Amino acid sequence: AALLALVKGMPKAELHIHIEGSLEPELIFALARRNGVTLPYDSVEQLRRAYAFNDLQSFLDIYYAGTSVLLTEQDFYDMTWAYLQRAHADNIRHTELFFDPQSHLSRGVNFAAIVGGIDRALGDAADEWGMTSGLIMCFLRHLSEEDAFATLEQAMPYLPAIVGVGLDSSERDHPPEKFSRVFARCRELGLRLVAHAGEEGPPAYIRDALDLLHVARIDHGVRCLEDPALVELLRARQVPLTVCPLSNVKLKVFPQMAQHNLRALLDAGLMVTINSDDPAYFGGYLNENFAEIFTALPLGRDHALRLACNSFDAAFLDDATKAAYR
Ligand code: HPA
Ligand code: ZN
């Protein structure tokens, strides 16, 4: 109990949260009503009951359906502000949010509404609590590289509000190499780079994200343990892995929390962080992720402090700000 109190109370950063994955069923229904959008679910309870996933794709289908209620700048503000209040309650001092512009642009929502609403909420969190943040634009890997380039073009006026780019959506059969040219362009533009890899996809995708995309962090990366040479590379370079325990159990990457490999990743000397991924869909925000993994695995006070330090060390912050947080 003392350990869980320490874990929940300690200052931390979150580095892997899809802001669209923080949309709670209640807010989905409220926004649907406000915008006159018809949902294929009769009630909040019925929608919540649909949250029984077999794998990544079965989750993504429902996650993209949920985003259909987001139309206006105020909608993006309200979604982000709801997340930031939860983050503040979990003593998150710095957060880096993913957003999926392609899933909104394709519905006729413009970039100004998306980035404007999210950025206004981040500004309010800075004013209210001194929370720092970064915004990471993800390309949907099931779409073409051409579509990613077109999205980058539309993002150009908003790059001052965007710290980096990432790669998400269906991992299998959409390898990192598909996006090597657009990531090279983003690198030239001075953007920081991350990619989802080794969640459902093979360890080779982690290696390719490093070698072909030149990412600074790997999102998930839990399947790296299948390749000892890769583990040694990740350890030597201290490449951060943004691990999401509740997500991994809900999407059946591991059958139960007790089978999660987070302790093994730490024991291998890897730069591990804990994150919530899509908290409205996976049953908990950041502190619930910490509480569940610390309850299921043999982890102690030293692990807790290490994970909190790693979360700031792996962040896209300058060294002075990192040092102040540590
Ligand atoms: N993996 C891939 N794509 C996603 C995820 C995830 O966990 N969450 C939202 N988009
Ligand atoms: Zn993710």
Pocket test for ligand 1, best of 55, 139, 169 (most atoms within 8 A of CB): 169
* Ligand 1 atom closest to 63 (CA): 9
* Ligand 1 atom closest to 199 (CA): 1
Which residue do the tokens 């051409």 mark? 146
pLDDT tens figures, 222-252: 999 999 999 999 999 999 999 999 999 999 9
pLDDT tens figures, 14-64: 999 999 999 999 999 999 999 999 999 999 999 999 999 999 999 999 999
pLDDT tens figures, 109-132: 999 999 999 999 999 999 999 999
**What's the 1 CA to ligand 1 centre distance in angstroms?**
32
Average pLDDT over the chain, rounded to an integer = 98
Query: Is 219 touching ligand 1 by the criterion CB < 6 Å?
Result: no
Pocket test for ligand 1, best of 22, 23, 55, 56 (most atoms within 8 A of CB): 56
Report the alpha-carbon distance of residue 168 to residue 118 in Å, rounded.
Answer: 19
**What's the 2 CA to ligand 2 centre distance in angstroms?**
30
The pTM of the whole model exceeds 0.95:
yes
CA-nearest residue, atom 10 of ligand 1:
169
Q: Is residue 102 pLDDT above 90, yes or no?
A: yes
Contact status, residue 293 vs residue 299, Cβ threshold 8 Å: yes
Q: Which residues neighbour ligand 2 (ion) by CB within 5 Å? A: 277
Contact status, residue 114 vs residue 103, Cβ threshold 8 Å: no
* Ligand 1 atom closest to 171 (CA): 2
Tokens of 217: 């962090």
**Proportion of the chain above pLDDT 90, given as a percent:** 99
**What's the 232 CA to ligand 1 centre distance in angstroms?**
26
Looking at residue 144, its pLDDT comes to: 98
Query: Is 162 touching ligand 1 by the criterion CB < 6 Å?
Result: no
Domains, the chain, ranges and CATH?
2-24+53-315 (3.20.20.140)
> Quick one: 16 exposed, middle or buried, by C-beta within 10 A (0-12, 13-18, 19+)?
buried
Query: Is 169 touching ligand 1 by the criterion CB < 6 Å?
Result: yes
Looking at residue 326, its pLDDT comes to: 82
- The answer to whether 199 is a known catalytic residue is yes
3-state helix, strand, coil in the chain (%, to 5): 60, 15, 30
**What's the 310 CA to ligand 2 centre distance in angstroms?**
18
Q: End-to-end distance of the chain based on CA atoms, in angstroms?
A: 24
Report the alpha-carbon distance of residue 316 to residue 319 in Å, rounded.
Answer: 9
CA-nearest residue, atom 7 of ligand 1:
277
Question: What are residue 14's DSSP bridge partners?
Answer: 95
Q: Quote the crossing angle between the two packed helices 145-155 and 180-188, to the nearest 10°.
A: 20
CA-nearest residue, atom 3 of ligand 1:
169
Report the alpha-carbon distance of residue 34 to residue 45 in Å, rounded.
Answer: 19
Helix (H, G, I), strand (E, B) or coil at 93: strand
Backbone φ and ψ of 271, nearest 5° = -85, 85
Catalytic residue among 45, 199, 232, 288: 199
Query: Is 16 touching ligand 1 by the criterion CB < 6 Å?
Result: no
Q: Is residue 1 pLDDT above 90, yes or no?
A: no
Looking at residue 293, its pLDDT comes to: 98
Its ipTM equals 0.95
Query: Is 182 touching ligand 1 by the criterion CB < 6 Å?
Result: no
Report the alpha-carbon distance of residue 23 to residue 130 in Å, rounded.
Answer: 23
**What's the 220 CA to ligand 1 centre distance in angstroms?**
10
Q: Annotated binding site for substrate: which residue ranges?
A: 278
267-297 in b/e form (b: 16+ CB < 10 A) is: ebebbbbbbbbbbbbbbbbbbbbbbbbbebb
pLDDT tens figures, 263-305: 999 999 999 999 999 999 999 999 999 999 999 999 999 999 9
Contact status, residue 135 vs residue 173, Cβ threshold 8 Å: no
